[in-house]
Amino acid sequence: MMVTTRTPEQTQSLGRRLGRLLKGLDVVCLFGNLGSGKTTLAKGIAAGAGFKGRVMSPTFGLARLYRGRRLALNHLDLYRVGAGETGDIGIEDFIHDPKAACVIEWPEAGAAYYPKDRLEVRLSHVSSGRRLAFKALGRRSRELLGRLEAK
Ligand SMILES: Nc1ncnc2c1ncn2[C@@H]1O[C@H](COP(=O)(O)OP(=O)(O)OP(=O)(O)O)[C@@H](O)[C@H]1O
Ligand SMILES: [Mg+2]
């Protein structure tokens, strides 16, 4: 699935629709350059999980937990994490939390820890805004994407 958004609000609204569909143990990886809209999308996802508070890039904190009314969401940002340092973070704890979904910005460094079945989103700058390419890597993520596309 490929979507182009013209404004941050459109990216958030797409995230909100995705966030409403997520369940515990779902993993969403957000790839893309600086400023491509990963945190903007994550804000929407948190809103869709029923979280009313502020969502910021956890670049300096590494991970944040949003306790949404509907679902808890772990928000990770591995921008500052080197490929060899992931063992220290306990990424597994965030990913294997049955009560929470997990959304990860700059997911490259943690690749070894993610479940096979996950949703990948690649965000990029285009002249009209941002392009978001969604890819499902398993049965559950295909179901998710199918439901998102149907909306
Ligand atoms: N269509 C769009 N979707 C999302 N953001 C957009 C769009 N058009 C413009 N923007 C702007 O692009 C910026 C995206 O910032 P955001 O923090 O979401 O990016 P990021 O991918 O998380 O960056 P970083 O790698 O630094 O964490 C914001 O300033 C936002 O206002
Ligand atoms: Mg960000």
Question: Rounded distance, CA 32 to CA 21, Å?
Answer: 23
Query: Which atom in ligand 1 lies closest to the alpha carbon of residue 7?
Result: 1
Residue 63 and residue 88 in contact, taking contact as beta carbons nearer than 8 Å: no
Q: Quickly tell me which residue has 């690749």 as its tokens.
A: 111
| C-beta separation of 81 from 112 below 8 A | no
Which residue has the CA at smallest separation from atom 16 of ligand 1?
A: 37
Q: Which helix (H) or strand (E) holds 48?
A: helix 38-48
pLDDT confidence of residue 37: 98
* Domains in the chain: boundaries: 2-149
DSSP helix/strand/coil, 117: coil
Distance (angstroms) between ligand 2 centre and the Cα of 12 equals 13
pLDDT, mean over the chain: 94
Stated pTM of the model = 0.96
Q: 42: CA distance to ligand 2 center in Å?
A: 8
Q: Summarize pLDDT for 19-68 with one digit per residue, the tens.
A: 999 999 999 999 999 999 999 999 999 999 999 999 987 666 689 999 99
Using the atom order of ligand 1, give the atom closest to the CA of residue 5. Answer: 1
Query: Which ligand sits closest to the CA of 75?
Result: 2
Neighbours of 3 (CB within 10 A): 15
**What 8-state DSSP symbol labels residue 111?**
G
Q: Are 45 and 103 spatial neighbours (Cβ–Cβ below 8 Å)?
A: yes
Q: What is the pLDDT of residues 102-122, one digit of tens each?
A: 999 999 999 999 999 999 999
Cα distance between residue 12 and residue 65, in whole Å: 18
CA pair distance 89, 114, nearest whole angstrom? 14
Query: Residue 87 — pLDDT band, cuts 50, 70, 90?
Result: confident
User: In percent, how much of the chain has pLDDT > 90?
Assistant: 86
Report the CATH fold assignment for 2-149: Rossmann fold (3.40.50)
